[in-house]
């Protein structure tokens, strides 16, 4: 229960126990606000580490999986939203920034929840954006990786919010 509460899925209330949080449009907006700031920074940090010789193999494997293939080029059973989230989390892991990893871990469950609600976003264009971000990271191009990631998250917001507004209440 403390983990679920720390990730915002439940709220503990005196003499009532735990109450499940209702995800709202406001929550979705706040998640995109934080992603827009934190994920570009993570990509820049990851690119700097890649240029210093850090192992990029796990991120490359996650990219292949996000595109729908495992390391053996067999189709993945995970939905596209899960594979995409896995790639973003590999970039954060490569960034090797403890506080950034901790903060984004608190958001991870909500990000995954929101992306599962927006499957029409899982397109070939997203694959190209992911590939371009990863290519910039591998090349050690921190500024390019940061800008591409910012554009990617913002495009995700633009495409996702109308879908989420149709499904989620405005307020709890």
Could you read off the pLDDT of 64-123 as tens digits, one per residue?
998 875 444 445 678 888 889 999 999 999 999 999 999 998 888 889 888 889 887 767
Q: Report helix, strand or coil for 23.
A: coil
Q: Give the C-alpha distances (Å, rounded to integers) separating 77 from 19, 63, 104, 123, 151.
A: 32, 15, 25, 17, 28
Q: Within 13 Å, how many C-alpha atoms sit on residue 72's CB side?
A: 3
Mean pLDDT of the residues in the chain = 89
Q: What backbone torsions phi and psi does residue 17 show, to the nearest 5 degrees?
A: 85, -150
Please, is 21 exposed, middle or buried when counting C-beta atoms within 10 Å of its C-beta (0-12, 13-18, 19+)? middle
pTM value? 0.87
With a pLDDT cut of 70, the percent of the chain lying above it is 94
Determine contact, residues 68/15, Cβ cutoff 8 Å.
no
Q: pLDDT tens digit string along 56-66? A: 999 999 999 98
Please, is 40 exposed, middle or buried when counting C-beta atoms within 10 Å of its C-beta (0-12, 13-18, 19+)? buried
């Amino acid at each position: 229960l403390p983990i679920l509460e720390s990730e915002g899925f439940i709220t503990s209330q005196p003499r009532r126990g735990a109450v499940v949080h209702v995800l709202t449009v406001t929550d979705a907006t706040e998640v995109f606000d934080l992603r827009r700031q934190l994920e570009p920074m993570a990509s820049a940090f990851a690119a700097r580490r890649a240029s210093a010789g850090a192992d990029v193999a796990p991120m490359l494997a996650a990219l292949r999986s996000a595109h729908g293939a495992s390391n053996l080029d067999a189709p993945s059973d995970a939905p596209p939203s899960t594979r995409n989230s896995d790639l973003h989390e590999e970039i954060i892991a490569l960034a090797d920034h403890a506080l950034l990893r901790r903060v984004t871990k608190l958001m991870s469950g909500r990000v995954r929840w929101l992306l599962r609600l927006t499957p029409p976003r899982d397109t070939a264009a997203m694959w190209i954006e992911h590939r371009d971000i990863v290519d910039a990271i591998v090349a050690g191009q921190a500024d390019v990786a940061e800008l591409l990631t910012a554009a990617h998250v913002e495009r995700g917001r633009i495409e996702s919010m109308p879908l989420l507004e149709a499904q989620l209440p405005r307020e709890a």
